Structure 1
Amino acid sequence: MQSVRVIFGGDVMLGRNVAEYIQRYGPSYPLGPVAPLMRSADLTIVNLECAITSSTDWWSGEAKAFYFGAPPQACESLVDAGIDMVSLANNHILDFDFEGLRQTLQHLQRRGILYAGSGENLRDAMAPAKIERKGITFGMVAFCDHQMDFAAEKARPGMAYIDLDDETRALEIFENSLAPLRKDRIDWPILSLHWGPNMVFRPSAAFRRIAHGAIDMGWKMLFGHSAHVFHGVEIYKGYPIIYAAGDLVDDYYVAPDFLNDHQLLLEIQLDSARIRYIRFHPVFIDECQTRPATPAQCGYTVDQMTALCKELGSTVDYSSLNIRGKPH
């Protein structure tokens, strides 16, 4: 039976200081050292945590602390890293207003990168991104639970906002979003969620309930992000829940109690019906560039991931860095 390797990366922030490095050294700079690994996968998915735009006009709504905008050539950073699909449901996609979003969509379309979670209106923002690899089909829908003023409306651009405090309604929305993927007989429906607070190392009890509810109804992967640090991976009823994938590249401040430079890529090998393995690859962010972690840098990531997975009932095999779940 055919199998496919899928790589998930966390937040890709190509603005601010990262943008300066791109303009100085070229678009391959931020992800170049890990690009061979990312390109080697059959499918690579990340959360794009910025607008790709030449616009300099900030969001016209309430003022924000940070605005993340990457230059147009930053789209080549994604292409060079072999990124096939991005989530755009996040709290920075409209940082450069509607024009910034429109230009982002145009750049992605021109380079053949699929996206979900934002669009010219609510219908577009809710539409799934679909792709086939080796006869196995994938479909992703993306939502964000904060920056409510970025929400797409019937006749207004924006992102797919969801209120996760109303768990019953949120699960109804997830069920409705799954229906067209089920109708199309998509093998692997992926629910992407930009959710929860920053610098939190564990999912809340509510988020675990929501994640389990999503798998129970038929989603086969949950791809979470937003915390800027990685969480443990749970394998629930045979399907992976990535509560938080961390950051893949950024320029964020690093403090002793917030090791934002120690990150990872998650690799999942699967066939049309089941996971064969989940593996994580430690990476390290330095000077706005992501590199494979050195043996010394791996120690924190391996220890942290091992402990966090254990709390979720998963185990890490040190010999391979594979993650295994408990029987359900």
Structure 2
Amino acid sequence: MKRGSIVGLFVVLFILLAGCTDNNDEVLYSNKHESKETMVQQKAPKKIIQEITLSAIGDLLIHSPVFQDAKVEEGYDFTPMLEKVKPYLSNSTVTIANQETMIGGVQLGLSSYPSFNSPYEVGDALKDAGVDVVSLANNHTLDRGEAAIQSAIKHWETIDMMYTGAYKNQKDSENLRVYETDAGISIAFLSYTYGTNGITVPAGKDYLVNLIDKERIASEVAIAKEQADVVALSLHFGNEYERMPNETQKELVQFAADQGVHIVIGHHPHVLQPLEWVTGKDGNKTFVAYSLGNFLSNQQDLYKRIGGILTFSIKKTSQGSENKIEIHSPEFIPTFVTFRQDWADYEVVPMYQLTNEDLSGAANHYKEIKAHMSQWMPELEFVEE
């Protein structure tokens, strides 16, 4: 073969090989580019975790010795009664109380058991102590009629306190109470009572007090789940002075759990009942306090003087369009109402601070209360500082 032909052949082969190499590089680059796009598409959305705390306290039942003890030169002052528990109430992101007596004010005439009407200043003291929401649906809501409810609501609005369970008109009752926290977690507060001590709700004014009705509860819980991250349900139910929940309470709590309620806060027995987790039909866990007892009252017997501050954490995990709510880290501070034998110096005191002068055998009573409250929730912690 001539030298020129050989050279020409090498040139042709070189060009062909070079062309193949260029094409392969393009294919490899294209494959890498497509792979990166696929990785971007499959990357999981960023996970965002937010957390708050919620506290709840039991019944504020303002008997005449309590409001008489609060009398000052001009009006009433209940703030000293809450001074020792204020640090705990104000420390939570949100705190809810069961205001069992209407604060209709002095202009309607103050009154005690069995038909209560309390001073406006009860609300002022709760606000000062750190309470953010009050539940008003209970068996004493209608004690002094519509006038007391309307007067009380006017004052709650004046001091910018969220209220639920009793309303000034139909439009007000249709306005779902949703508490928006700075952390980005919203809580819907619903409240219902078993009855009103035989007092008939005025015709056409069902909005004055929410009565327990499963169909209504299911409907309003469904709306609440659409508008808020967390649904907290206050139920005024059970038998007075019984330390364990009855079957009616358990059945209604199970119904609430089946609707997807996150938290149930119970009132009415005026004594503490244990805490419990209840599993809903979809596998959801509902945190239940069957009864938080009396927080402030003039009831005399030992267990009627014991209440508490319940606190737990609410964690919201968001990823894309998915939100997950978790209730965890429950804590409890048992409290005791102290007062002198002459019905003066009423004060709510954490039980761990009690001396034998305050309550004979204080340490043993405190130990028994801790065992009682945690019997169905062994992870319950007790705050002692």
**Aligned-partner residue type, residue 189 of structure 2:** M
Q: Answer yes or no: is 1:158 the counterpart of 2:221.
A: no
In the alignment, what sits opposite 2:55? 7
Q: Answer yes or no: is 1:173 the counterpart of 2:173.
A: no
Q: CA deviation at 1:157?
A: 5.6
Q: Answer yes or no: is 1:182 the counterpart of 2:222.
A: no
Q: Answer yes or no: is 1:231 the counterpart of 2:282.
A: no
Q: CA deviation at 1:194?
A: 0.7
CA contact (8 A) 1:32 1:80 kept: no
CA contact (8 A) 1:46 1:87 kept: yes
Q: 2:254 aligns with which of 191, 212, 229?
A: 212
Q: CA deviation at 1:127?
A: 4.7
Please identify which structure carries the higher helix content.
Answer: 2
Q: Which runs of 5+ in 2 are unaligned?
A: 1-48, 280-284, 317-324, 340-345, 356-361
Q: 2:313 aligns with which of 247, 257, 269?
A: 269
Q: 2:382 aligns with which of 299, 321, 324?
A: 321
Q: 2:244 aligns with which of 202, 205, 209?
A: 202
**Aligned-partner residue type, residue 173 of structure 1:** R
Q: CA deviation at 1:87?
A: 0.5
In the aligned structure 2, how far is the partner of 1:158 from the partner of 1:150? 11
In the alignment, what sits opposite 2:30? none
Q: What is the Cα-based RMSD across aligned positions, in Å? A: 2.4
Q: Deviations for 1:257-277, whole angstroms, at most 9, x for unmatched residues?
A: x42222211011121210221
The change in CA–CA distance for 1:137 and 1:122 in structure 2 (over 3 A counts) is same
SS of aligned partner of 2:258: helix
In the aligned structure 2, how far is the partner of 1:152 from the partner of 1:289? 37
CA contact (8 A) 2:62 2:296 kept: yes
Q: 2:117 aligns with which of 69, 79, 101?
A: 69
In the aligned structure 1, how far is the partner of 2:367 from the partner of 2:203? 42
Structure 1 residues 247-286: aligned runs within 5 Å: 247-254=294-301, 258-272=302-316, 273-286=325-338
Q: 1:26 aligns with which of 47, 70, 77?
A: 77
SS of aligned partner of 1:235: strand
Q: 2:192 aligns with which of 132, 139, 143?
A: 143
TM-score relative to the length of structure 2: 0.73
Q: Which runs of 5+ in 1 are unaligned?
A: 163-169, 323-328
**Aligned-partner residue type, residue 288 of structure 2:** I
Q: CA deviation at 1:305?
A: 4.1
Q: Deviations for 1:144-201, whole angstroms, at most 9, x for unmatched residues?
A: 0022525365346621122xxxxxxx332221111221221x1110111111221011
The change in CA–CA distance for 1:17 and 1:176 in structure 2 (over 3 A counts) is same
**Aligned-partner residue type, residue 310 of structure 2:** L
Q: Answer yes or no: is 1:290 the counterpart of 2:348.
A: yes
The change in CA–CA distance for 1:276 and 1:152 in structure 2 (over 3 A counts) is farther
In the alignment, what sits opposite 1:78? 126
In the aligned structure 1, how far is the partner of 2:287 from the partner of 2:122? 30
Q: CA deviation at 1:21?
A: 1.9
Larger Rg: 2
In the alignment, what sits opposite 2:100? 49
Q: Greater CA deviation, 77-86 or 14-23? A: 14-23
Q: Deviations for 1:273-313, whole angstroms, at most 9, x for unmatched residues?
A: 10221010121101232012226535424423424542xx3
In the aligned structure 2, how far is the partner of 1:205 from the partner of 1:123? 35
SS of aligned partner of 2:71: helix
Task: Provide the identity percentage.
Answer: 21
Q: CA deviation at 1:65?
A: 5.2
The change in CA–CA distance for 1:270 and 1:65 in structure 2 (over 3 A counts) is closer
TM-score relative to the length of structure 1: 0.84
